[in-house]
Amino acid sequence: MIQPDRIVSTTCPYCGVGCNLRVHVRDNTIYRVTSPFDAVVNKGNLCVKGRFGYDFIYHKKRITTPLIRKVPQKPGQRTQAFDRSEWREVSWDEALDYTADRMVEIYQRDGSHAMAVYCCAKATNEDNYLLQKLFRALFRTNNVDHCTRLCHAASVVALQMAIGSAAMSNTASEVILSDVFLLTGSNTTENHPIISLQMKAAVEKHGAKLIVVDPRRIEMVNWATLYLPMKPGSDVPLFSAMAHVIIKEGLMDREFIEQRTENFEAFAQSMEKFTPEYAEQISGVNRNLIIDAARMYGSAERAAIFWALGIAESTHGTANALSLINLALLTGNLGKPGTGLNPLRGQNNVQGASDSGAMPWHYPGYQEVDVEENARRWEELWNIEPGGLNRERGLTTTEILGAAHPGGVRSLYIMGENPMMSEPNLNATRKHMENLEFIAVQDLFINESGAFGDVFLPAAAAFEKDGTFTNTDRRVQRVRKAVDPPGQARPDWEIICDLAARIEARLGRPNSAFWAYRHPEEIMLEMGRAVPAYAGVRYEHLEPVGPQTPVPTPGHPGSPYLYADTFPRGRAKFHPLEYVPNAEMPDDEYPLVLSTGRVLEHWHGGTMTRNSSLDELHPVALLDIHPEDAERLGICHLDPVRITSRRGSVVARAKVTEKANVGVVFLPFHYREAAANLLTNDALDPQAKIPEYKAGVVRVTKARWEELPTDDYQPRGRY
């Protein structure tokens, strides 16, 4: 057996669970990943990605030298260049000088509105803090966003509206203390596998009752007391009908409502129309199931709600999340263990990136950019002249690309994101990318978006640098360097600092000491000086495990659950709701509803897992389709099928399964050769600006074998 030179404790770079890892290293090479049984987050358990998904860092396609395109790109004529022969290798000095020159040229010519940046939920808190600081402090723009806009933006907006805070209220492992927990819009076993183990244990060992509400028959249904197979987009009427029953049957917590909430009467009046009969007509769920779910949740002493992107990724995602928040407020299920409102975060550091200010409407700590005292606070910290920071809200991810035209956004900096896989309606996204004047990319691989770039800056992976991630439980955890980065790849924070110093010099605002950080901890300390929730975070206090924010003072033990005595906005607010149909509804031409999401073996745009041995486990895109729909369409298991929407068409194989419900099909979004987001609708939620990923409409037809996207398209793995 191989004996390690060292074993390094760090945090998993995949989903928001934030599992604790022990990385076994010999000769500067990772050969094994384990987890200690006393790990506070995961108790030694790891999913297939956490245990085996580290080998992407050694893939032959990894870029380890700075690159500049050989042929300069022009707006409207920009092309994708995956081939290394279309790039030339350069020194770091040349790459950073070129990047700074191009960006400053555009900024001085067109102003702050021409500049935009995508931060990254895969990067550390410190990386994201610095990148948003660079664009706000130097380019005076709030066109700063990251993938939270494409996943939980609606949850963030709804929680801010109702509670005044945007994070999970409780700890996921507290589910073992719940009498009842409601799970909706989350395929937990595949998207948050370790949390699903905790949920199963809550049912099997602690007697908790589980209510699953989902358009797909996900695995967690096997542990559920009640399963409500709703139609996509019917969340508001269904959960409002539960509220209707709770009010009518007197199951609400009157003392909690009177002492800790506001606007109850207006809310209660708006619930009158949401009868179980009305909800049944829209959702397709039997009225008696809705009544049973309401009684079960409303009668529990401790009830928790968990949700993921099935709630948020909708043109009415904010209303969906508010319908869940209303249920918790109605029954007083906040402020104590085993209860709460718990949006399960998708990426490893989407919570931390949001906390760190990687959003267009907020500085770090969710301080609104258009509030004068907030802007002054950051001007003072960043040594900027009074009035220097931009007071206007910036553009979101989708809006940034939509503004890619003369007079709009001209320069885009992309750190670790992949909009050419993650944005909806990719045919439109491609045109927007082609219209940009300058694109800088900071990543590990030339992915679908990086191939549009003018310059590529090779970054270190999570196993190759230091910093912190904040998981879905709000737990701040150490990321530790286990091996050296390959070639000339560098940690993100170092790249950003060197670039910022160059930009400052060109703008005539030299203050390079401001960017002369010696270690990521210095960056965290700076952020904590203006973000109360991180004010007490110290690297030495993250041993052996980090505390959960808020951490207001050094040595504070952290906050496993929130709102025991009060809410950040004072009283929590009920919100009256109306039912608004999906942006698209099935019709004769497009009779099926398409939902998109992840599979266990892959992760998001596939930049990491599809350059890993994990790709061998699930190498092809499969369309989940119910046997009744498959039989009606003459489709057999693993047949090639064409999926067509109003926006595009892709070919994949059919997976005939009862996991899909009749009338609903599911396509994972990891596969560029069958990119699900060529099909999805770019209509937006008006409040959160999040796209409609879960309820576009499509038609499915048999395809020819030769239409399959690659020659080597043999099913392997778990089919």
- The DSSP element (H or E) to which 330 belongs, if any, is helix 317-331
Q: How many CB atoms lie within 10 A of CB 487?
A: 12
Residue 42 is given by DSSP the state T
Q: To the nearest whole number, what is the mean pLDDT of the chain?
A: 95
Q: Is residue 559 part of a domain?
A: no
247 and 307 together in one domain: yes
Res 672 pLDDT > 60: yes
Among 457, 354, 351, smallest CA distance to 396 is for 354
18 and 52 together in one domain: yes
Q: How far apart are CA 130 and CA 148, in angstroms?
A: 18
Q: Examine the fold and report which residue of 343, 371, 406 is the final residue of a domain before the chain moves on.
A: 343
What pLDDT score was predicted for residue 8? 97
Instruction: Check: CB of residue 668 under 8 Å from CB of residue 597.
Output: yes
Report the SS3 class of residue 167.
coil
625 and 648 together in one domain: yes
Res 714 pLDDT > 80: no
215 and 130 together in one domain: no
Res 718 pLDDT > 50: no
Measured CA distances, 354 to 126, 166, 389 (Å): 12, 9, 19
CATH of the domain at 44: 2.20.25.90
What pLDDT score was predicted for residue 603? 84
Q: Is residue 566 part of a domain?
A: no
Tokens 């209860």, residue located: 339
Q: Examine the fold and report which residue of 343, 364, 395 is the final residue of a domain before the chain moves on.
A: 343
What pLDDT score was predicted for residue 512? 64
Q: Which pLDDT band, with edges at 50, 70 and 90, does 385 fall under?
A: very high
Measured CA distances, 364 to 68, 153, 415, 513 (Å): 32, 16, 18, 21
Q: Is residue 552 part of a domain?
A: no
The three-state (H, E, C) secondary structure of 454-482, written as one string:
CEEEEECCHHHCCEEEECCCCEEEEECCC
- Range list of β-strands (E), 256-360: 261-262, 303-307, 340-343
Give percent of the chain with pLDDT exceeding 70. Answer: 98
The mean pLDDT value for 370-376 works out to 97
Residue 215 carries which side chain, given as an amino acid letter?
P
CATH of the domain at 596: 2.40.40.20
Q: Which pLDDT band, with edges at 50, 70 and 90, does 717 fall under?
A: very low
Q: How far apart are CA 581 and CA 602, in angstroms?
A: 31
Q: How many CB atoms lie within 10 A of CB 185?
A: 29
Res 708 pLDDT > 90: yes
Tokens 């906390």, residue located: 355
Residue 531 carries which side chain, given as an amino acid letter?
V
Q: Is residue 494 part of a domain?
A: yes
Q: Is residue 639 part of a domain?
A: yes
What pLDDT score was predicted for residue 510? 74
Extract the tokens encoding 12: 């998993």
Rg (CA), the chain: 25
Q: What is the pLDDT of residues 59-103, one digit of tens each?
A: 999 999 999 999 888 898 888 988 889 999 999 999 999 999 999
Q: Is residue 439 part of a domain?
A: yes
The mean pLDDT value for 258-287 works out to 98
What pLDDT score was predicted for residue 605? 84
The mean pLDDT value for 631-648 works out to 97
Among 643, 634, 659, smallest CA distance to 718 is for 659
The mean pLDDT value for 4-13 works out to 95
Q: What is the pLDDT of residues 35-62, one digit of tens each?
A: 999 999 999 999 999 999 999 999 999 9
Instruction: Check: CB of residue 185 under 8 Å from CB of residue 308.
Output: yes
**For the whole model, what pTM was predicted?**
0.95
What pLDDT score was predicted for residue 545? 86
Q: Examine the fold and report which residue of 343, 370, 388 is the final residue of a domain before the chain moves on.
A: 343
Q: Which pLDDT band, with edges at 50, 70 and 90, does 485 fall under?
A: very high
Task: Give the CA diameter of the chain.
Answer: 71
Res 544 pLDDT > 70: yes
Looking at the structure of the chain, the number of domains it has is 4
Res 535 pLDDT > 60: yes
What pLDDT score was predicted for residue 1? 76
Q: Is residue 560 part of a domain?
A: no
Q: What domain range includes position 80?
A: 67-150+349-542
Q: How far apart are CA 208 and CA 180, in angstroms?
A: 5
The mean pLDDT value for 705-716 works out to 65
Q: What is the pLDDT of residues 288-331, one digit of tens each?
A: 999 999 999 999 999 999 999 899 989 999 999 999 999 999 99
396 and 519 together in one domain: yes
529 and 667 together in one domain: no
86 and 223 together in one domain: no
Q: Are strands 67-69 and 455-458 parallel, antiparallel or unpaired?
A: antiparallel
The mean pLDDT value for 388-411 works out to 96
At what angle are helices 125-137 and 492-507 packed, to 10 degrees? 10
Res 468 pLDDT > 70: yes
203 and 326 together in one domain: yes
Measured CA distances, 209 to 176, 199, 242, 293 (Å): 11, 10, 16, 10
Q: How far apart are CA 122 and CA 104, in angstroms?
A: 27
What number of H helices and E strands is found in the chain?
A: 21, 29
Report the SS3 class of residue 31.
strand
* Alpha carbon 547 to its chain's center: 22
CA angle 154, 158, 163 (to 5 degrees): 145
* Alpha carbon 384 to its chain's center: 32
Cβ partners under 8 Å of residue 476, min gap 6: 125, 352, 468, 469, 470, 534, 537, 542, 546, 547, 548, 549, 551
- The b-or-e profile of 591-624 (16+ CB within 10 A means b, else e) is ebbbbbbbbbbbbbbbbbbbbbebbebbbbbbbb
277 and 295 together in one domain: yes
330 and 425 together in one domain: no
Instruction: Check: CB of residue 267 under 8 Å from CB of residue 575.
Output: yes
Residue 441 carries which side chain, given as an amino acid letter?
V
Res 9 pLDDT > 50: yes
How many residues comprise the chain?
719
Q: What is the pLDDT of residues 145-202, one digit of tens each?
A: 998 887 888 999 999 999 998 889 999 999 999 999 999 999 999 999 999 999 999 9
Q: Is residue 297 part of a domain?
A: yes
339 and 355 together in one domain: no
Q: How far apart are CA 500 and CA 56, in angstroms?
A: 29
Tell me phi and psi for residue 366, to 5 degrees.
Answer: 60, 30
332 and 360 together in one domain: no
Q: How many CB atoms lie within 10 A of CB 434?
A: 17
Q: How many CB atoms lie within 10 A of CB 339?
A: 28
